[in-house]
Amino acid sequence: MGSVRLSRVAKTYGREETRVWALREVTLSVEPGTFVVILGPSGSGKTTLLNLIGALDVPSEGRVEVAGHDLTRSTEAERARFRRHKVGFVFQFFNLVPTLTARENVLLAAELVPHPRDPDALLAAVGLSHRKHHFPGELSGGEQQRVAVARALAKNPEVILADEPTGSLDSQSGAQVLALLWRFARDEGRTVLMVTHNQALAQIADRVLRLKDGRIVEDRRNEEPRTPEEVVW
Ligand SMILES: Nc1ncnc2c1ncn2[C@@H]1O[C@H](COP(=O)(O)OP(=O)(O)OP(=O)(O)O)[C@@H](O)[C@H]1O
């Protein structure tokens, strides 16, 4: 299932005197079913970390293993297959296809995998049955993000990577999106890694990672995480 293991991972950009260390000496092991919240200042390496786990990028050093796949020893074609089958992505700005309806956006993801979840059931679960034939431009930000979560879940992925999924939402829509991601980890044993600038969201995490200057400077487990509904933000 969706285990995540990084061993002495570094990621650099550029060369020699202009080299930037986006990540260094990152070692991490996350068990399936964990809801991980990743905090850290701008430029600390949070997005880079998600990109490596999601096989959108490869490390400069070290090893990345996700859901039993060694992403550092795979070809680009294998990584594309891994992204397609194993990972659901949720971004800050939804990234829906504007010319497709909500339902078609979810269907498009479902068609990528052999054992998808039912798009209509997912749209019902995110409270959007009545809006499924609407285009993204006809939906509010919160509704679009709920479609994006339904799209990510449609693939029934082992790992969900969410980069500031509530960053552009009002608090009520944000809470709904959060609850969907949280339940997916809790009820279905999937691994969710979520980057956020909102410190309050650490309370709902099973595990909190804090990055600074490309290193993990805090790695804490919450014995009794709160539910998204309990957190005021
Ligand atoms: N393609 C790139 N080329 C050069 N440097 C990059 C590239 N991508 C990221 N970086 C640098 O790597 C470092 C980490 O970036 P990253 O986007 O992972 O940070 P972040 O914690 O997600 O920041 P933010 O909260 O602002 O999104 C930064 O110094 C950034 O400027």
How much is the ipTM here?
Answer: 0.96
CATH class of 32-60+76-230: alpha beta
Q: What is the pLDDT of residues 133-166, one digit of tens each?
A: 999 999 999 899 899 999 999 999 999 999 999 8
Pocket flag, ligand 1, residue 172 (CB < 6 Å): no
Pocket flag, ligand 1, residue 45 (CB < 6 Å): yes
Distance CA 31, CA 190 (A): 9
Q: Which of ligand 1's atoms lies nearest the C-alpha of 11? A: 12
* 35 Cα–ligand 1 center, Å: 23
Q: What angle do CA 124, 151, 47 make, to 5 degrees?
A: 135
Q: pTM of the prediction? A: 0.93
Structure confidence at residue 232 (pLDDT): 66
Q: What is the CA radius of gyration of the chain?
A: 17
* 14 Cα–ligand 1 center, Å: 12
> Does 233 score more than 70 pLDDT?
no
Residues with Cβ within 8 Å of residue 160, at least 6 apart in sequence: 87, 88, 89, 90, 152, 153, 181, 184, 185, 190, 191, 192, 193
Question: How much of the chain, in percent, has pLDDT values that exceed 70?
Answer: 99
Cα–Cα separations (whole angstroms), residue 64 to 17, 51, 80, 149, 224: 27, 11, 15, 25, 29
Distance CA 183, CA 13 (A): 36
Residue nearest to atom 24 of ligand 1 (CA): 42
Pocket flag, ligand 1, residue 105 (CB < 6 Å): no
Query: Ligand 1 test: best mutation among 48, 164, 216, most atoms within 8 Å of CB?
Result: 48
Residue nearest to atom 18 of ligand 1 (CA): 45
Pocket flag, ligand 1, residue 110 (CB < 6 Å): no
